[in-house]
Structure 1
């Protein structure tokens, strides 16, 4: 009699990457769309050096009417919305993987933990070797917290999502505002806020100097210094909480098959268009107005208590417009003509990890001082135009690559390390029957 297999060996035997026939094409399309928006956002704020420049230089780059319009459109329709969309899809993907694992009788925790550990390794390498703005390591760390909700009720998941998205930013904003006032008084609190802003501005200026240098070593040393001494802040912890909240919204959507069965949920998507648009307009509009008032010197965050509601309102605005994008794509994808147009984004979405890393490499070559040296010099319109051209090339590259290979290079590495064995990379040649049918 043969010896019974252990649970671990059964898990390994039944664990495998998702076959192309099992993929939800709409998710690949949305992931490609999200990757485009994330690239625009990263280029606009970070790769171009805009987030590191003093305020007067930022205003000079956006002085013309065209640049002012592009900047306003970016902050209203792009800023953080695509990061929300990407996070939502990460949570939805976890929901699908959980359902498939349960259907096969395979425990999700060991496999998903290995998956997250590999992603963490890729993210940490990306962060220190290339770019401070890496999001992969954060997704991996927060992903472990997502595992805790795999058996939670829908009400519990929704409650935690709302608390993390809106409640945590409001609580932290209130503590940051009132704690110094109660402990030191109004004048001391204002001085402490000013000192903190000056310290952060100096750190960003040092990073900009490093990125502007003609030495790869100098730029990457400045990058690592910024990671070690500036990033471990309360803001990063708050951001991780909001990301978990976005993950949970995706987990909930996956349970209800919101993207897997769009036709059955058409009314839900129509409601998302309406209510998401209303919340998005309110949240993003309020933030833009508050920023204008602050730049004009008409409001002071240290004194005007009503500004405490801006962080949670802004976060809800991000989620609202991201929901509009999801619903719009889902509804359009049900129409044959639009489906053919949108499916162009599917290959780049299937290779999201490879393309995300490739975007960093290309951007460093363009903006850093050892490359073309455009950091801190590109006005918004040219930055966005250049980013869209690069992304269009990525779309063609992804289509070419996936016509020959099953995975993108980074996806192949991720899967191979996760499953503990090299995955077959090349596509099998089609038979004569398949070729004649096609």
Structure 2
């Protein structure tokens, strides 16, 4: 009896490669600013302000990385859902149970690092199930409206005409104290203190998700990935080659257009007193920019990874992608060891441009580890545990192992 959602031989190498590339972008986003998933106290960046490397790293991360790879990863999660639906062993009950286990893994991850996305995936994944039988037209409309952050655009439009009162001096002081307290815990606290500080932060994380609209955007990419899987954009990508090339041009030129509009606006109106209309416009342009660049990365990497000259890159990305959950969690482990007080305590002590360069040796180590692991084992360690709990059977771990029941 088949007991896995997608057996190794059935995997689509391209999707694993895209997943590995997405994890590279996620690593850059997190490591550049020391894996700090909370607000940064005033003055931390002051010593780097005039450093050209800091400015370049900040511009690169802000324009090309921030807000573009959690979206890429979310798209692939929706795509995986579509692929799982095609499996003979797929049932809604089993998928919900699988999501629940992922949520528990995310909960444990959140206790160590505030930036966890897996607990968000549990919530958004439950909503995605409701769209499993929706028409393609519904998926297209719903995904685009959510990706463009329509709920937040409506809220911000309302606040433009009916602004909320600014925080009081007391509230600002409380926020500053809260920020400094967590920073001190990360820098000076022991393991138990770090865990204790992260428990109440779970509420803050969901507040941020809804306040920024990221949770809506994530759902939008889940639905777009579901559509891509249904239409077999990647399973039969050769049939859609022209479609990918078309969207590469559209997303690429449109991204340049957004930058050409946003930069002069920022220079002209970005300084001085806050301007509500300017903030409203720039927020909307930012969401469009993130959408277009995410599309550009998805279609661009799909085309590149199918080239013979990129075969080596595909193999390296794919070994990370086959162990995506393990790789994602191990990135956090590395970040905590490098930057937190329980490790080498480098948070705030190392220029972000140096941290950005650290991405490549860290990612290289992950590739080497993944290659070694997959040469001996069928799944990554966390993937194996996730599958075993999903099916309530010990899944084969060493190559050639038989499935065993608990």
Aligned residues: 399
Comparing 233-242 with 136-145, which one deviates more in the overlay? Answer: 233-242
CA deviation map 1:134-164 (0-9, x unaligned): 1001011100101011100111111111221
Q: Is the 1:276–1:320 Cα contact (8 Å) retained in structure 2?
A: yes
Counterpart among 388, 392, 402 of residue 416 in structure 1: 388
Please give the residue correspondences for 1:228-243 in structure 2 after superposition, counting only pairs within 5 Å. 228=203, 230-233=204-207, 235-236=209-210, 238-243=213-218
Partner of 1:227: helix, strand, or coil?
Answer: helix
Is 1:137–2:137 an aligned residue pair?
no
Instruction: State the shift of 1:288 in Å.
Output: 6.1
**Are 2:4 and 1:21 equivalent residues in the alignment?**
no
Q: Is the contact between residue 263 and residue 334 of structure 1 (CA under 8 Å) also seen in structure 2?
A: no
Of residues 218, 235, 252, the one that matches 1:260 is 235
Q: Does the 8 Å CA contact 2:37/2:114 hold for their aligned counterparts?
A: no
How far did 1:413 drift?
Answer: 0.5
Q: Which moved more, 1:354-363 or 1:143-152?
A: 354-363
Tell me the CA shift for residue 297 of structure 1: 3.0
Partner of 2:198: 223
| Partner in structure 1 of residue 70 of structure 2 | 83
Pairing 1:58–2:45 present: yes
Measure the CA separation in 2 of the matches of 1:131 and 1:277.
Answer: 34
Distance 1:245 1:289, change over 3 A: farther
Q: Deviations over 1:238-272 (max 9, x none)?
A: 22111101111111111221122222111111121
Q: What secondary structure sits across from 1:31 in the alignment?
A: helix
Aligned partner of residue 393 in structure 2, secondary structure: coil
1:403-424 per-residue CA deviation (whole Å, 9 max, x = no partner) reads: 0000011000100000111101
2:83 aligned to 93, 96, 107, which one?
96
Structure 1 partner of 2:60 = 73
Structure 2, unpaired ranges of 5+: 402-406
Structure 1 vs Structure 2 CA RMSD: 2.4
Per the TM alignment, residue 364 of structure 1 is displaced from its structure 2 partner at its CA by 0.8
Within-5 A mapping of 1:2-401: 14-45=2-33, 47=35, 49=36, 52-98=39-85, 100-101=86-87, 104=88, 108-128=91-111, 130-166=112-148, 167-180=150-163, 189=165, 191-192=166-167, 199-228=174-203, 230-233=204-207, 235-236=209-210, 238-283=213-258, 297-300=271-274, 303-401=275-373
How big is the shift at 1:36?
1.1
Determine the structure 1 residue equivalent to 2:404. Answer: none
The Cα of 1:204 is off from its aligned counterpart by 2.3
> What displacement does 1:63 show?
2.2
TM-score by length of 1: 0.84
* Structure 1 gap segments, 5+ residues each: 1-12, 182-188, 430-438
Q: In 2, Cα distance between the equivalents of 1:355 and 1:249?
A: 24
Bigger mean CA deviation after superposition, 252-261 or 132-141: 252-261
TM-aligned CA distance change 1:137 to 1:289, over 3 Å? farther
Tell me which residue corresponds to 1:186.
none
Taking the aligned partners of 1:288 and 1:227, their CA distance within structure 2 comes to 35
Does the aligned pair in 1 maintain the 2:41–2:179 contact within 8 Å? no
